[in-house]
Chains A and B, each alone.
Chain A
């Protein structure tokens, strides 16, 4: 097995080559505005020692923060037609009702609510009003809308109304991109619909970005299938990822945690990823990040995405440092010079003292011009490291879920800020290629399938088995090899107040990418 993993970050595009389980080579190149050039440069650099020559590559896996950044920065978003099937219920809380107004203004192309939807037990809530759907589609067309998000009551249980409405809309608007909320998962109409609306808002950016990825791979001369990494540490084939870009939202953080697991050989550990501006702390369970299972806000919008449960603090290699002499106690972060580190840091001829300058002065890093930071004495440097360690220690302690000491894997370009000993930590592990952990995580990603559904009048065992079957089929449809599937999460929850032994079952399976 030979794979290339790429992480397209805001600052750097990292690439790694993994061959038979070993990192052969890891490189960094600056991210480019057009995305393609940065990826091409990193691939060129990766192949510059001849490691790729004449070899078959089984897959190129790309992780990116592009989509989430677009939402957070309100850029490159497409106007969306929102179609909800559920009248007469829910009328007082229309689509976009809990969005931040600035984002809603950008994305809301129009809202249509018609009769339809289901009950928790599968009965139709109302028959689908097909004439009203067609009328809505005609109005969408008149408004020039080409991205449509369809949501329906209890569609995770029965998606038939969403699917039928999608057919009717497609008949009127053949070139429309249509997102059905049932493709995005869980119970909770507003949050699921929000996920659908965000997904639809990314339609154009997703098409262009994936096309840029494909062009870069084609131009580099590498003949391998392209996969995009997902929030949950797995991958989707490019054509599927293009349809559901929201599933790639948190892939950067997930990849670095998965990469940390891989590089250290540990499945259960805490991970601290120290970047230039922020430090993310998370927890690995069986090699995957523990997920947040409650509401996650993206750009101010409530969703129920499968996202790793992370705590972010303002500590990194570019963090501003203010010394005692400046008046107060030593302070590290939360402000950072970010991607301007190589210009603004003192050791690089700039004026802002950063944690990287401290590391250069103490011979922890060999970078820049040491003479420029020679004025920093050892005692001062020790105090700054101690202040940074206290910040990390507090964040790690907050994320820990076990009382005993646990191992901690430190990755990312700023990992030098994590000391070798921390309270509550059995061992701090620094790994080789830790600064490219996210690209490593991309390279080793698997394919997953999930089922989250209510089962009625079944024994608990039968309900779990049924959910398992659905999850397996979804994983295979997403490109997994059925023989390698294993269940990594199974959770069942009996439902209060609902009659007939209703149980909600959530199962997630993963498997290796099937050979094409």
Chain B
């Protein structure tokens, strides 16, 4: 399959769909969307390239914005900063990237590669390394695959640039890069360790930009036609409805730089009388129906506004909202014993065995 043009309408859909795949976290894609609208208005265009088109010895740059979504809401995302992180990596490693991909398709990071790609005139690779959103650097397919975690470039819009040239493990990369990010003001544009075409083909989670666009398109079309947007999502993705209810309580606490807590829902319709609790660490991690775990990471737990079908985040969910909770199938790479060690319930401190909604 050759390269295809990404239309502005695709990007509007991507912003909605990536927020659903954000499973409660990942930050809102709104500012990225605004940047892309501005770039498209100025004549910039971006193409999407399937990973299978890569030659084994091509190089690919993987990007993400790191830090506190709240700081992003004040500084606003500038499309040139992420492009600079990629250019810095090319200067540092002396490679030229064939394409640019996202570390994380869930949330705002879905749009970061498009901004870099527009400025650098390269295609976006239709793959990512999470298939959703996760809070930490080692919660990726490439970490499960034991690929090299370094180097990493970080850029701040004021001309602050640093390269983490060598670390022994993904955990060290998380610690060191987090420190840099905090000094910058808790936000940094980053380019992760460059990947070869062979690595991307083997370890990438494929087709996720296309998937996010399809989900967003289904939601937007359903909204336009006043149809049920959640049914529309299930029409394009093999997901399952877990629960419909109203938010009865939200409890949040910040520990070790993460937003942790739980929300309690009171059931409606078919679920009247049943209580669902969902624990979160930036993203929704484990859902408990009347005390029994019914869905857990790496299955995607998506909390959606029952009327609009749009995703509800862990930072913004509030008492009284009417929501539908659905599960979407996880990337296969996380289902191995090694994968579950990185992102299964025990990786988040829940002593339960992973059981998929889709088993």
**Pairwise interchain contact A401-B71, C-beta atoms closer than 8 A:** no
Query: Is A187 interfacial (CB-CB < 8 Å)?
Result: yes
Query: Is A34 interfacial (CB-CB < 8 Å)?
Result: no
Residues of B in contact with A, size category: 35 or more
If the complex has contacts A92-B38, A125-B185, are A498 and B75 also in contact, measured as CB distance less than 8 A? no
**Pairwise interchain contact A495-B319, C-beta atoms closer than 8 A:** no
Nearest CB of chain B from residue A94's CB, rounded to whole Å? 9
Cα distance A188–B316 when bound, in Å?
13
If the complex has contacts A93-B38, A496-B257, are A188 and B75 also in contact, measured as CB distance less than 8 A? no
If the complex has contacts A93-B34, A499-B257, are A403 and B266 also in contact, measured as CB distance less than 8 A? yes
Cα distance A294–B316 when bound, in Å?
8
Query: Is A405 interfacial (CB-CB < 8 Å)?
Result: no
Which of B9-17, B76-84, B196-204 is the interface stretch? B76-84
**Pairwise interchain contact A494-B253, C-beta atoms closer than 8 A:** yes
Mask, A173-191, CB within 8 Å of B = 1, is: 0000000000000011110
If the complex has contacts A120-B68, A401-B246, are A496 and B76 also in contact, measured as CB distance less than 8 A? no
Nearest CB of chain B from residue A430's CB, rounded to whole Å? 26
Cα distance A154–B185 when bound, in Å?
12
Among B35, B76, B159, B186, find the residue whose CB has the most chain A CB atoms closer than 10 A. B76
User: Which residues of the partner chain A approach B68 to less than 8 Å between Cβ atoms?
Assistant: 120, 495-498
Query: Is B1 interfacial (CB-CB < 8 Å)?
Result: no
Query: Is A24 interfacial (CB-CB < 8 Å)?
Result: no
Cα distance A403–B186 when bound, in Å?
41
Nearest CB of chain B from residue A385's CB, rounded to whole Å? 25
User: Which residues of the partner chain A approach B252 to less than 8 Å between Cβ atoms?
Assistant: 493-494
Nearest CB of chain B from residue A151's CB, rounded to whole Å? 10
Cα distance A225–B57 when bound, in Å?
78
- Indicate which residue in B34, B76, B78, B186 contacts A120 across the interface (CB closer than 8 Å): B186
**Pairwise interchain contact B315-A153, C-beta atoms closer than 8 A:** no
Mask, B79-114, CB within 8 Å of A = 1, is: 110000000000000000000000000000000000
**Pairwise interchain contact B79-A496, C-beta atoms closer than 8 A:** no
- Indicate which residue in A98, A117, A187, A497 contacts B258 across the interface (CB closer than 8 Å): A497
Closest-by-CB residue of B relative to A290 is B320
**Pairwise interchain contact B74-A189, C-beta atoms closer than 8 A:** yes
Nearest CB of chain A from residue B355's CB, rounded to whole Å? 28
User: Which residues of the partner chain B approach A504 to less than 8 Å between Cβ atoms?
Assistant: 70
Mask, B165-202, CB within 8 Å of A = 1, is: 00000000000000000100110000000000000000
**Pairwise interchain contact B282-A189, C-beta atoms closer than 8 A:** no
Residues of A in contact with B, size category: 35 or more
**Pairwise interchain contact A499-B316, C-beta atoms closer than 8 A:** no
Cα distance A11–B315 when bound, in Å?
41
Cα distance A92–B35 when bound, in Å?
7
Closest-by-CB residue of B relative to A123 is B185
**Pairwise interchain contact A120-B74, C-beta atoms closer than 8 A:** yes
Nearest CB of chain B from residue A162's CB, rounded to whole Å? 13
Query: Is A90 interfacial (CB-CB < 8 Å)?
Result: yes
- Indicate which residue in A92, A119, A493 contacts B80 across the interface (CB closer than 8 Å): A92
Query: Is B241 interfacial (CB-CB < 8 Å)?
Result: no
Query: Is A89 interfacial (CB-CB < 8 Å)?
Result: yes
Cα distance A498–B256 when bound, in Å?
9
Mask, A182-212, CB within 8 Å of B = 1, is: 0000011110000000000000000000000
- Indicate which residue in B79, B282, B319 contacts A401 across the interface (CB closer than 8 Å): B319
User: Which residues of the partner chain A approach B253 to less than 8 Å between Cβ atoms?
Assistant: 494
Interface set, chain B 31-58, CB cutoff 8 A to A: 31, 34-35, 38
**Pairwise interchain contact A92-B320, C-beta atoms closer than 8 A:** no
5 residue pairs A–B, Cβ–Cβ below 8 Å? A117-B74, A125-B75, A125-B158, A126-B158, A494-B259
The 6 closest A-B pairs by CB, nearest first: A494-B254, A401-B320, A496-B259, A90-B76, A497-B68, A89-B75
